[in-house]
Amino acid sequence: MLGVGAQFGEYRIDGVLGRGGMGIVYKATHRVIGRSVALKLMLDDDDLVGDASFRERFLRESRLAASIDHPNVLPVYDAGELDGRLFITMRLVEGMDLAQILARNPQGLEIKRAVGLLSQAAAALDSAHRRGLVHRDVKPANILVSDEDGEHVYLSDFGLTRLVAGETLLTSKDSFVGTAAYCAPEQISGGRVGPAADVYALGCVLFHMLTGRQPFERETQIAVIYAQLNDPVPNLRLIAPSVPDALACVVERAMAKSASERYESAGDLGRAAVAAIQPSASGMPKPMSAGPAAPARDESAANLSASPVGRSSSAPSAAPVRRRGILRRPVAVLSLAMIAATAFGVLALSGMLSVGASAVSSDRAEAVVQRYLDSYRTEDLDAVIATLTPDVTLEAMTKPLGVTINKNGRQEVRDAYQSEFERGDKSDLSARIQRTDTSEDATTVTVRSVEKNVTGGFRAVGTTSYKVVEVDGRPLIETIRDRSTLS
């Protein structure tokens, strides 16, 4: 680490601006022309800097980043290698990054302000994507906000995570590359990473700005990664009721698990967010056509409090998203999946509907699930079985062990629970009902749980979906579908 007053080439070190997983950013001054810059020195890591192909990619990507001439892209002045250290110099922005702003606003930002900042970051990404550069690490810390002309956004660190990872998410030391809280599913799973991954990350950033929290807040990074891959987008309006439905739909589409279901470009996302908060003459949000792009509008991000950004001839719509009812009260239960002695089981009950089965109301479905959970907590075996249909099928699955257990009918399920209760494992588990979905023939209640198993010394995160049907006038659990991961 360089101290204040130290020299690095033509630069004098004036202080440390920040540290990250790839290097240290210094405030520095060019000794000849006197310009203040942000000087980033890459880690002195033999696995990276000693790799000739890495150095070549670093210089190539730095040149590409420097070629992006856009008002919302942080300008790159110089890059190279000096005394065995790779470096890059960038414009010094007087202000804060978005992470610092959010830390000062734990309840989230004012809606108009959040959309204004988003639209500028989206314009920067569009400019980079047109040049074939995918950011891969869009997050609040890489969105710099200066005080010039109101609030002006600069997107920084283009291409650097891609340099480390190449086409994967692992460095040579097998550490996760990217920021899990904002990382697209395909990037986590090692799939093809393109502009859609940046759209997803920007959707996560918008969620954070509107609510004051990350979309998938979990206790461990493994749990966050699992949620990014499997869990539905949390209902934004339950966290921030003042957010318009149209804007909540924009966030959900941006964060679709499938890249093909997201906005076609970051600019489309930005314009959709702007359109979602523009009122009509009647005071209601303007209607938007379905599909990837809606008709052009006169309104743009320039009408917002943030700095103007480039306009486009089209504004994409917020694709209709089916809303889900969510039970608002948390519930405490014991583990739903201790079927195997060596693993935290994940329950997935599947089977044909019982004769005479039909859908039930959300309230009655949640009530029978609550009764099941309460009975499980007290290990009242008869009461647990009484909540299930006669032909219930239990399938327990565990990741990453790949353990799968199948039980069919009440008797086999009873035997499995009885074995579990007699084993006497001690667990500390918290759970809550996340949402309730109703179809023509059934109602599904989804429960989110986190378990710390004291006996086995492991931790597991899971989501269990209970399908509830009405049989002879009684609501019963006919299907439970759950996914769980050990950590």
Mean pLDDT across 180-197: 90
State whether 103 and 71 are in the same domain.
no
Where does the pLDDT of residue 149 fall: very low under 50, low under 70, confident under 90, or very high at 90 and above? low
pTM over 0.75: no
One-letter amino acid identity for 210? L
- Strand 347-349 to strand 330-331: parallel, antiparallel, or no bridges (unpaired)? unpaired
Please state the φ and ψ torsions of residue 249, each to the nearest 5 degrees.
Answer: -65, -35
Domain that holds residue 116: 95-303
Q: Which helix (H) or strand (E) holds 241?
A: none
- Strand 474-486 to strand 458-471: parallel, antiparallel, or no bridges (unpaired)? antiparallel
- Strand 330-331 to strand 152-155: parallel, antiparallel, or no bridges (unpaired)? unpaired
Rounded to whole angstroms, the Cα distance separating 370 from 473 reads 18
State whether 111 and 83 are in the same domain.
no
Rounded to whole angstroms, the Cα distance separating 401 from 50 reads 37
Residue 39 in domain: yes
State whether 229 and 295 are in the same domain.
yes
Residue 308 in domain: no
One-letter amino acid identity for 128? A
Token reading at 207 = 């969620």
Rounded to whole angstroms, the Cα distance separating 485 from 449 reads 11
Q: Is the pLDDT of residue 256 over 90?
A: yes
State whether 142 and 224 are in the same domain.
yes
Which pLDDT belongs to residue 399? Answer: 64
- Strand 152-155 to strand 403-408: parallel, antiparallel, or no bridges (unpaired)? unpaired
Q: What is the mean pLDDT of the chain?
A: 75
Q: Is the pLDDT of residue 461 over 60?
A: yes
State whether 289 and 378 are in the same domain.
no
Q: Are 247 and 239 in contact (CB under 8 A)?
A: no
One-letter amino acid identity for 80? G
**Who contacts 468 (Cβ-Cβ below 8 Å, separation ≥6)?**
360, 364, 365, 368, 369, 442, 443, 444, 445, 475, 476, 477, 478
Rounded to whole angstroms, the Cα distance separating 52 from 57 reads 9
The DSSP code sequence of 182-200 is G--HHHHTT----HHHHHH
SS (H, E, C) 20-79: CCCEEEEEEEECCCCCEEEEEEECCCHHHHCCHHHHHHHHHHHHHHHCCCCCCECCEEEE
State whether 66 and 207 are in the same domain.
no
| The last residue of a domain, from among 33, 65, 91 | 91
Positive or negative, the Cα torsion across 113, 114, 116, 120?
A: positive
Confirm whether 428 is a catalytic residue.
Answer: no
- Count the residues in the chain: 487
State whether 266 and 134 are in the same domain.
yes
State whether 337 and 234 are in the same domain.
no
Token reading at 428 = 């500390």
Neighbours of 217 (CB within 10 A): 12
Which pLDDT belongs to residue 178? Answer: 61
Which pLDDT belongs to residue 303? Answer: 39
Q: Which helix (H) or strand (E) holds 116?
A: helix 111-130
Q: Are 381 and 418 in contact (CB under 8 A)?
A: yes
Which pLDDT belongs to residue 429? Answer: 63
Q: Which helix (H) or strand (E) holds 464?
A: strand 458-471
Where does the pLDDT of residue 50 fall: very low under 50, low under 70, confident under 90, or very high at 90 and above? low
State whether 42 and 118 are in the same domain.
no
State whether 168 and 87 are in the same domain.
no
State whether 84 and 105 are in the same domain.
no
Q: Are 181 and 201 in contact (CB under 8 A)?
A: no
| The last residue of a domain, from among 91, 126, 144 | 91
Closest to 101 (Cα-Cα) out of 27, 25, 209, 200: 209
**Who contacts 264 (Cβ-Cβ below 8 Å, separation ≥6)?**
292, 293, 316
**Residue 292: cis peptide before it, omega within 30 degrees of 0:** no
Residue 314 in domain: no
For residue 370, the 8-state DSSP code is: H
Token reading at 237 = 């309006």
Rounded to whole angstroms, the Cα distance separating 196 from 134 reads 9
* CATH number for the domain that contains residue 348: 3.10.450.50
Q: Which segment, 157-161, 175-179, 221-225, is predicted with the most confidence on average?
A: 221-225
Rounded to whole angstroms, the Cα distance separating 88 from 35 reads 15
Token reading at 422 = 């007699």
Mean pLDDT across 204-217: 96
| The last residue of a domain, from among 303, 322, 342 | 303
Terminal-residue alpha carbon distance, the chain:
34
Percentage of residues of the chain with pLDDT beyond 70 = 70
Domain total in the chain: 3
Rounded to whole angstroms, the Cα distance separating 27 from 399 reads 45
Closest to 482 (Cα-Cα) out of 336, 368, 342, 361: 336
Which pLDDT belongs to residue 229? Answer: 92
Q: Which of 137, 198, 268, 482 is catalytic?
A: 137
Please state the φ and ψ torsions of residue 103, each to the nearest 5 degrees.
Answer: -65, -30
CA 366 centroid distance within chain: 27
Among the listed ranges 80-89, 113-122, 232-241, 294-303, which one has the minimum average pLDDT value?
294-303
C-alpha distances in Å from residue 430, one per residue of 83, 192, 312, 361: 53, 36, 47, 26
